[in-house]
Amino acid sequence: ETGVTQTPRHLVMGMTNKKSLKCEQHLGHNAMYWYKQSAKKPLELMFVYSLEERVENNSVPSRFSPECPNSSHLFLHLHTLQPEDSALYLCASSQARTSEPGDEQFFGPGTRLTVL
Amino acid sequence: KQEVTQIPAALSVPEGENLVLNCSFTDSAIYNLQWFRQDPGKGLTSLLLIQSSQREQTSGRLNASLDKSSGRSTLYIAASQPGDSATYLCAPSSYNTDKLIFGTGTRLQVFP
């Protein structure tokens, strides 16, 4: 176990559904990330939260809406998705960079999303 | 814009061989570089983290080297085992942000 958990592990949804992905980290980190992994493409960063503030939105469509209520939890709310959004969604956490080196990112197991 | 290339894309070897996986990146202004392994359909497991000021890191049978000026990192796997079969991903992080940029990985199969 890496200390980062994600639920659900698998999700099938229609294009008109609303669903949410959840990520929780038990490592005492203060930065959290959402990544998307599509078939045969590199992992793509979607969002970064550092100290509970969104510091990066990597040109992600508005049908993906992140929420970070505290430093241990991160959500990705999904609404009116397209079939091409089907992918493995990975959450990660790290200690936000200050003046100290480190920042090793630890990943959860991912949510396999299928949009019909 | 940082671009990461991993060579080879796939590798199939008998167990016991020593392996070299290559990673190159276009922007040498990195803060650190991580190597991960990913089993099919699973999340990423962090293997090694090399700070930009370091030349190499070792963990068990794994050794990662970093030549920042030439934009290269290499992962050495000694005495490979079937359990090493996975996709190996290289990810440098930008000097200005915590953002990791990933390569497409090297898919490794070690057969008995």
Q: Which residue in A33, A97, A106 is closest to B46 by CB distance?
A: A106
- Residue A108 sits at the chain B interface (C-beta within 8 Å): yes
Considering chain A, what is the average pLDDT of its residues? 88
Q: Which residues of A touch B104 (CB under 8 A)?
A: 40-42
Q: What is the pLDDT of residue B31?
A: 87
B71-85 burial by CB neighbour count: b if 16+ within 10 A, else e? Answer: bbbbbebeebeeebb
Enumerate residues 59 to 98 of chain B having a beta carbon within 8 A of any beta carbon in chain A.
89, 91, 93, 97-98
pLDDT of A102 above 70: no
Closest CA to A47 of A61, B11, A39, B82: A61
Q: What is the pLDDT of residue A101?
A: 40
- Residue B4 sits at the chain A interface (C-beta within 8 Å): yes
Given pLDDT bands bounded at 50, 70 and 90, which one contains residue A56? confident
How does DSSP assign A47-110, residue by residue? EEEETTEEEEE-S--TTEEEEEEETTEEEEEEES--GGG-EEEEEEEEPPPSSS-----EE---
DSSP-derived secondary structure letter, B66 = E
Rounded Cα distance between B69 and B30, Å, is 10
* Whether the Cβ atoms of residue A94 and residue A103 lie closer than 8 Å to each other: yes
Q: What is the pLDDT of residue A97?
A: 66
Q: To the nearest 10°, the Cα dihedral for A27, A28, A29, A35?
A: 40
Q: Which residues of B touch A40 (CB under 8 A)?
A: 104
Chain B residue closest to A5 (CA)? B43
What mean pLDDT comes out for the span A9-22? 93
Rounded Cα distance between A63 and A36, Å, is 14
Given pLDDT bands bounded at 50, 70 and 90, which one contains residue A98? low
Q: Which residues of A touch B64 (CB under 8 A)?
A: none
Q: What is the pLDDT of residue A41?
A: 86
B48-97, pLDDT tens digit by residue? Answer: 999 888 999 999 999 999 999 999 999 999 999 999 999 999 999 877 66
Q: Which residue in A40, A94, A108 is closest to B43 by CB distance?
A: A108
Judge: B99–A45 Cβ closer than 8 Å, yes or no.
Answer: yes
Rounded Cα distance between A83 and B23, Å, is 32
Residues 6 or more apart whose CB falls under 8 angstroms from that of B37 comprise B44, B45, B47, B86, B87, B88, B89
Best mutation site among B26, B31, B37, B44 for testing chain A: the one with the most A CBs within 10 Å?
A: B44
Handedness of CA B70, A40, B110, B59 (dihedral sign): positive
B16-47, pLDDT tens digit by residue? Answer: 999 999 999 999 889 899 999 999 888 899 99
- Residue B19 sits at the chain A interface (C-beta within 8 Å): no
Closest CA to A47 of A90, A109, A105: A90
Closest CA to B44 of A81, A33, A91: A91
Lowest mean pLDDT among A67-71, A107-111, B97-101: B97-101
- Residue B110 sits at the chain A interface (C-beta within 8 Å): no
> Which is it for strands A10-13 and A111-115: parallel, antiparallel or unpaired?
parallel
